[in-house]
Amino acid sequence: AFDNDEADVLSSGSGEIEIIATAGNITQANGSTIDGGSGKVALTAGDSQTLDQVKTSGADIAITAQNGSVTAKDFITTSGAKIGIKAAQNVAFDNDEADVTSTGSGDVTITATAGDLYQEDESTIDGGTGKVTLTAGKKVTLDQVQTSAAAVKITAQAGDVVANDFIMTSDAAIEITGDNDVSFTNGLSDVTSSGTGAVTIIATKGNITQANGSTIDGGSDRVTLTAGDSQTL
């Protein structure tokens, strides 16, 4: 555990940071920073992780909760490299500072294997120019999701997809699949693929619902909306 805002782990230069809690938890207090400099950051917990500030530059970030959940209270960021977050249960970005950012071409992959994936209002997942893949075993609740010139794929394997803000890319596809409903809850809940990327939205067993002012925009490409039940657009 990193118990206060002075409990930082810093590796300047290219040295890798690896933190393992074999049978327990990794916990950062508010203001605690794990900074890999320009080296990889790998955090592995046998149970759960509660994180604050995690960053590096030009190297991957890998976060794994083998039997529990990942909760992020602040930023997780790198440049030109991948971010991978995987939990056996839930993944939650719990406030508006809990952003996941990979500037450049690194992919962002977030998986809540048997639980929910949740973004608080004003939280942003930004893939830079890399692919964004978001998967939950149950429900996906999103706020701001974006990348450029790369695909966005969102899957709720046994639940709903709820979008409370924008999902966007350019010249690449957006695919959203909910096992039950897919909902765009307000006028900010736009799905935009500018350029040639197709937009595909599937509510396998349920409804597709757009609130007033919500826009689904395929740019110059195809828009395909498929609901097992009804659509309110």
Comparing C-alpha atoms, which of 97, 79, 78 is closest to residue 30?
97
Torsion of CA 214, 207, 194, 100, to 10 degrees: 90
Identify whether 91 is part of a domain.
Answer: yes
Identify whether 160 is part of a domain.
Answer: yes
Identify whether 22 is part of a domain.
Answer: no
Model confidence over 105-120: pLDDT tens digits?
999 999 999 999 999 9
Identify whether 228 is part of a domain.
Answer: yes
The mean pLDDT of 210-216, rounded to a whole number, is 99
Residue 34: pLDDT band with limits 50, 70, 90: very high
> Residues 71-93, buried b or exposed e (16+ Cβ, 10 A)?
bbbbbbbbbbbbbbbbbbbbbbb
Q: Could you tell me what percent of the chain has a pLDDT over 90?
A: 99
Mention every residue, 6+ apart, whose C-beta is less than 8 A from residue 201.
175, 176, 177, 182, 191, 208, 216, 224, 225, 226
Model confidence over 175-198: pLDDT tens digits?
999 999 999 999 999 999 999 999
What is the chain's mean pLDDT, rounded?
Answer: 98
Identify whether 135 is part of a domain.
Answer: yes
Identify whether 24 is part of a domain.
Answer: no
Identify whether 68 is part of a domain.
Answer: yes
Backbone angles phi, psi at 50, to 5 degrees: -120, 110
- pLDDT value for 65: 99
Q: Do 102 and 78 contact (CB within 8 A), yes or no?
A: yes
Complete DSSP assignment for 31-65: T-EEE-TTS-EEEEESS-EEE-EEE-SSS-EEEEE
Identify whether 11 is part of a domain.
Answer: no
Q: How many CA atoms lie within 13 A of 51 on its CB side?
A: 36
Residue 213: pLDDT band with limits 50, 70, 90: very high
The mean pLDDT of 134-158, rounded to a whole number, is 99
Q: Do 161 and 138 contact (CB within 8 A), yes or no?
A: no
Domain of 57 in residue numbering reads as 49-232
Overall domain count for the chain: 1
